[in-house]
Amino acid sequence: MLSKQSEGREKSGRNEKRTVKVRKNSKRLWKQKISSGAFIAPSFLGVMVFFIIPFLVVIFYSMVDNPISKNFVMFDNFKNIIANKAFMRAVKNTATFSAISVPLAVVLSLLLAIVLEAKLPFRSQFRTFFLSPLMVPVASVVLVWQVLFHFNGAVNDMLGKFGIDKIDWMKSKYALYVVVILFLWKNLGYNMILFMAALGSIPKDILEVARLESANPLQTFFHIKIRYLSSSLLFVTIMSLISSFKIFREVYLLTGDYPVNEIYTIQHFMNNKFKSLDYQMLSAAAILMSLVMIVIIGILFIAEDRFGKDVEG
Amino acid sequence: MRNTPIRNLERRDKIAKRIRKTFGVFKISLATAIALFFAILFLTPIVLTISNSFMAQSEISANYGSVFATNENGGKVFISEKVNLKFIPDIVSFSQYITVLFKSPEYLLKFWNSVILVGPIVVFQLLVASLASYGFARYRGKIREIIFFSYIILMLMPYQVTLVPNYLVSNWLNILDTNKASWLPGIFSPFAVFLLTKFMRRIPESVIEAAQIDGAGEWQIYRKICMPLCKGAICSAAILVFIDYWNMVEQPLILLSDAEKHPLSVFLSKINAGEIGLAFAVATIYMIPSLLIFLYGEEYLVDGITYQGGIKG
């Protein structure tokens, strides 16, 4: 019946044919939608129970005076936490740490990626070497850091030869730099891989044209490569920023529960609140942190939209 | 006379070639120098840890006496004036390993804690994630996009934000201080979902349609077509999840108050100063699983990181 109809009105019947097909498809699509949706269920359930629902409770806790009496105090907890000296010190330290380590992480890893792009001898071995810190647990190498940066340690010994006075690295403001070095050691490899992928995706013909037009390497880098790298640059910057917030681990392993003031992090603050079961403070801190994160992630998304189009067309 | 411009050109070409050649040599040697410099920096901590683990206690004390010696125990601690960084032990000794492996079982116990904590997370996170990512890749509707988007945001949140909800749930479910408190949030953590979805969305529609026409149901498509095609991506995700959790410190600190259950990563920072030699051996043992995985799975690791670049799928 259907075939006869379409045979008769081959051109005008095309529309009708399509609707029939779509209707048939939509039924199948609906079935497919539900059955494939079932695959998501276990994961979604878990995420709901372990992350999303408790997070809503955290939002609630951040606005009540305490979890038992549950009186709404609106933003008092936030005011308290902002007035809290320890918290503000932790925020300031984290911000300082990020401001120092993120630019270094981006620039140095880009340098490594560019270096590896050249036709080096033992290129793949070098890549392996640069990646190895990523695999090694921080806890395993912390001992070496302690040996290097102890008051009587190797670094002071070396500096002593140049006539520089001993520095008590871990117990002074320099502790921050020691942590920066550990952070860079751990994270450069990851960023480098992202940059290497981006460099590899630059179309070869464009580079060839630049070469034929006798552009020097610096021109090629700044006018062509940076353009193609822009989205990766942003992504790496933001990923480094996010991992710089997680710096507590390195600090804890290096110095234990009580570091010097300069490397007291937000996580230290929260650990103390966990110990005293101060839910309101914890919740308020977590909410503030997540707001900051949402702003950062928002920037990432908007910028990725922009830059992504710029290159991919 | 008519040849001159051409000859000139030829000469210019020759000079340009020579310049390019010398510049190329210069470039490569500079790149190699930079690469070597960083490779040494990157490898030193790892090599030091491993080589120090093969030193006898007396040699360790002689080298690091001034850093770690504490005379409280009254042990035979020799204090040297300064640290002696040594890459090659005077006498290769397995005494530290013998102590760790056979004489004091607490270290092995902590190692086993780590395995018990991380193993189930890796296995089950991938299982849950492979199912969910099939669901996300098979159909892209509005609701699913929203869920997926919230997964991405959750993935980017630092522990400071997610630990508070995790703690609350563990408290409600009465699983605080048990391994379950770390397992369950780990298993439902959205990272692997994100990575695998990005990969599965690249499987051509036609492959799946062909299977459908042959009468395969959703489960069969998942099991017989998507899983075999995703083997590489699953390996990548497994490695990245493993290194993340093998390295974890924050979660056990908060969720496991019983120090007996702590993984080796936390325990390592608490080994007291008199046992520095043992600590090097334990640190080396702790590195071995990740180094082995790295040795066999470097390509997967690189692929996994590359897939992460560019958050939006």
The shortest CB-CB distance from B283 to any of A33, A143, A308 is to: A143
CA separation for the pair A34, A302 (Å, rounded) = 32
- At A50-93, the pLDDT tens digits run 999 999 999 988 888 877 777 788 788 888 888 989 899 999 99
Q: Element (H or E) spanning B203, and its range?
A: none
- At A145-166, the pLDDT tens digits run 888 887 777 788 788 888 788 7
Q: Do A141 and B49 lie within an 8 Å CB cutoff? A: yes
For residues A53 and A146, state if they share a domain: no
- Closest-CA distance of chain B to residue A164, Å: 15
The shortest CB-CB distance from A289 to any of B160, B301, B306 is to: B160
- At B117-152, the pLDDT tens digits run 999 999 999 999 999 999 999 888 889 999 998 998
Q: Do B156 and A232 lie within an 8 Å CB cutoff? A: no
Residue A269 domain-assigned?
A: yes
In degrees, to the nearest 5, what angle opens at C-alpha B192 toward C-alphas A249 and B132? 145
DSSP string, A28-71: HHHHHHHHHHHHHHHHHHHHIIIIIHHHHHHHHHTTBS-TTT--
pLDDT at A96: 93
Which residues of chain B does A49 touch, with a Cβ-Cβ cutoff of 8 Å?
A: 169, 188
pLDDT at B135: 92
The reply to whether A199 touches chain B by the CB within 8 Å rule is no
Q: Are A148 and B68 in contact (CB under 8 A)?
A: no
A182 pLDDT exceeds 90? Answer: yes
For residues A30 and A135, state if they share a domain: no
**Reported pTM:** 0.86
pLDDT at B73: 41
Angstrom CA distances, B68 to A150, A153, B106, B179, B276, stand at: 9, 10, 21, 33, 7
Q: Which of A61, A86, A111 is the last residue of a domain?
A: A61
Q: Which residues contact A187 (CB under 8 A, 6 or more apart)?
A: A105, A109, A134, A240, A243
Q: Do A194 and B309 lie within an 8 Å CB cutoff? A: yes
- Closest-CA distance of chain A to residue B92, Å: 19
- Closest-CA distance of chain B to residue A299, Å: 12
ipTM summary value: 0.85
pLDDT at A149: 84
Q: Which residues contact B4 (CB under 8 A, 6 or more apart)?
A: none
Q: Do A40 and B135 lie within an 8 Å CB cutoff? A: yes
Q: What type of residue sits at position A238? A: I
Q: Are A64 and A280 in contact (CB under 8 A)?
A: yes
Which residues of chain B does A35 touch, with a Cβ-Cβ cutoff of 8 Å?
A: 217-218
Q: Do A119 and B247 lie within an 8 Å CB cutoff? A: no
3-state secondary structure of B311: coil
Which residues of chain B does A252 touch, with a Cβ-Cβ cutoff of 8 Å?
A: 249, 253, 269
CA separation for the pair A22, B62 (Å, rounded) = 81
Residue A66 domain-assigned?
A: no
pLDDT at B8: 77
A312 pLDDT exceeds 80? Answer: no
CA separation for the pair B40, B280 (Å, rounded) = 20
Local confidence band at B76 (pLDDT 50, 70, 90 cut-offs): very low
- At A256-268, the pLDDT tens digits run 777 888 888 888 8
Q: Which residues contact B188 (CB under 8 A, 6 or more apart)?
A: A43, A46, A47, A49, A50, A51, B125, B128
Q: Do A136 and B291 lie within an 8 Å CB cutoff? A: yes
| Among B residues 107-166, those touching chain A with beta carbons less than 8 Å apart | 128-129, 131-132, 134-136, 138-139, 141, 144, 147, 150-154, 156-166
Locate A247 and state its tokens. 């710096």
| Among B residues 94-113, those touching chain A with beta carbons less than 8 Å apart | none
CA separation for the pair A62, B167 (Å, rounded) = 15
For residues A40 and A145, state if they share a domain: no
CA separation for the pair A95, A278 (Å, rounded) = 24
**Mutation test of the interface with chain A: which of B32, B269, B285, choosing the one with the most A Cβ atoms within 10 A?**
B269
For residues A139 and A187, state if they share a domain: yes
Q: Which residues contact B70 (CB under 8 A, 6 or more apart)?
A: B77, B272, B273, B274
For residues A54 and A81, state if they share a domain: no
Q: How many helices (H) and strands (E) does chain A have?
A: 15, 0
3-state secondary structure of A72: strand
pLDDT at A8: 44
Local confidence band at B74 (pLDDT 50, 70, 90 cut-offs): very low
At which residue do the structure tokens 């108050």 appear? B257
pLDDT at A29: 77
Residue A71 domain-assigned?
A: no
Residue A86 domain-assigned?
A: yes
Residue A182 domain-assigned?
A: yes
Query: Residue A282's closest CA among B160, B175, B153?
Result: B160
B3 pLDDT exceeds 60? Answer: no
The reply to whether A161 touches chain B by the CB within 8 Å rule is no
Local confidence band at B284 (pLDDT 50, 70, 90 cut-offs): very high
pLDDT at A308: 60
B70 pLDDT exceeds 90? Answer: no
Q: Do A50 and B184 lie within an 8 Å CB cutoff? A: yes
Q: Are B266 and A283 in contact (CB under 8 A)?
A: no
Comparison of pLDDT for A16 and B281, the residue scoring more: B281
Q: Do B157 and A290 lie within an 8 Å CB cutoff? A: yes
Q: Given CA atoms A233, A128, B195, A53 in this order, what sign does their dihedral have? A: negative
pLDDT at B236: 92
For residues A119 and A208, state if they share a domain: yes
For residues A215 and A264, state if they share a domain: yes
For residues A141 and A194, state if they share a domain: yes
Q: Do A54 and B169 lie within an 8 Å CB cutoff? A: yes
DSSP A164: P
For residues A205 and A130, state if they share a domain: yes
Q: Do A40 and B154 lie within an 8 Å CB cutoff? A: no
Q: Which residues contact A288 (CB under 8 A, 6 or more apart)?
A: A78, A81
Structural domain that includes position A52:
2-61
* Three-state helix/strand/coil letters over B97-132: HHHHHHHCHHHHHHHHHHHHHHHHHHHHHHHHHHHH
Which residues of chain A does B26 touch, with a Cβ-Cβ cutoff of 8 Å?
A: none
A111 pLDDT exceeds 90? Answer: yes
Residue A68 domain-assigned?
A: no
Q: Do A135 and B250 lie within an 8 Å CB cutoff? A: no
Alpha helices for A48-174 (secondary structure H): 53-61, 76-83, 85-117, 123-135, 138-149, 154-161
The reply to whether B45 touches chain A by the CB within 8 Å rule is yes
pLDDT at A11: 46
Residue A215 domain-assigned?
A: yes
- CB neighbours (10 Å) of residue A7? 9
For residues A118 and A24, state if they share a domain: no
Q: What type of residue sits at position A19? A: T
Angstrom CA distances, A312 to A196, A230, A297, A304, stand at: 18, 12, 22, 11
3-state secondary structure of B151: helix
CA separation for the pair A50, B186 (Å, rounded) = 10
CATH number of domain containing A111: 1.10.3720.10
Q: Which of A28, A61, A94 is the last residue of a domain?
A: A61
Q: What is the mean pLDDT of residues A39-60?
A: 92
Locate A114 and state its tokens. 């560019």
CA separation for the pair A174, A97 (Å, rounded) = 12
- Closest-CA distance of chain A to residue B94, Å: 18
DSSP B81: S
For residues A124 and A252, state if they share a domain: yes
Q: Are A195 and A229 in contact (CB under 8 A)?
A: yes
Locate B312 and state its tokens. 């939006």
Query: Residue B140's closest CA among B229, B201, B219, B212?
Result: B201
For residues A123 and A233, state if they share a domain: yes
Q: Which of A17, A33, A61 is the last residue of a domain?
A: A61
Length of chain B: 313
Q: Given CA atoms B266, B269, B272, B277 in this order, what sign does their dihedral have? A: positive
Give the count of domains, chain A.
2
